[in-house]
Structure 1
Amino acid sequence: MNTKSFNRKTWLGAMFTFVLVAVLGLTFAFKPAKPAVEKKVQPSLYWYSISPTNTLQAQLNTSPQTKDDSMENGANSLTNCKDETPKVCIIGYDSEQTLGTSIPSSVANDHSIRFSR
């Protein structure tokens, strides 16, 4: 057996193995980190029922609370609406409002709970 050929094959095999391990190591070492999922904090609002003429009918809570707390099965449920349709069931404001005031034509999702299907 030719030892020069054997040594060259051994050396090439070792180098190939080293390169393969190095490439795999670098691939996993510099794998991009997953972006942190930021949970949006819901605002605490005063919630109002709406009349058929789209005006504020009645204030439903005396201290501000979030949308999740106000929905059915929430910590302080104010409605049985499940937020499934485009039509607004109750609307929330950052401050107390005057009853009879018209509601805006477009309402932010976190400031409204919409009717169930």
Structure 2
Amino acid sequence: MRTVLARRILGGALAAAATATVLLSAPLPANAATTAQAAPSSVVVLATCRYVVNDTGVRARYGPGTTYGIYRTLTIGEVVTGPCELIWNGPEGRYWAKLYTRAGFFVYAAAEFLSPQ
């Protein structure tokens, strides 16, 4: 059951990441050798996944595992977003979804309690 859920989540996440990954680079100026802008700038844009919390009491934690501190408890039906990235925690036997916070850092929630939207 867990493997089927992980494949479903990963399949959608990887497909979204593959189609949404864009590499932008600025061309070198004609006089690049004599200016400070010799190296082109590059930006990588990765896909963002949206999840709906499908259980009560789901905890967003500071790391991908139950040994990490709790940032806050998510509510059922809440929509959360994050990069399309799941982290496997082998000792616990579950995937953790990486999520954005308003404060600008990442937290993690067990992927089995999140439904891709």
Tell me the TM-score range normalised by the shorter chain. Answer: under 0.3
From the two aligned structures, give the one with the greater helix fraction: 1
From the two aligned structures, give the one with the greater strand fraction: 2
TM-score, normalising length: structure 1 = 0.21
| Higher Cα radius of gyration | 1
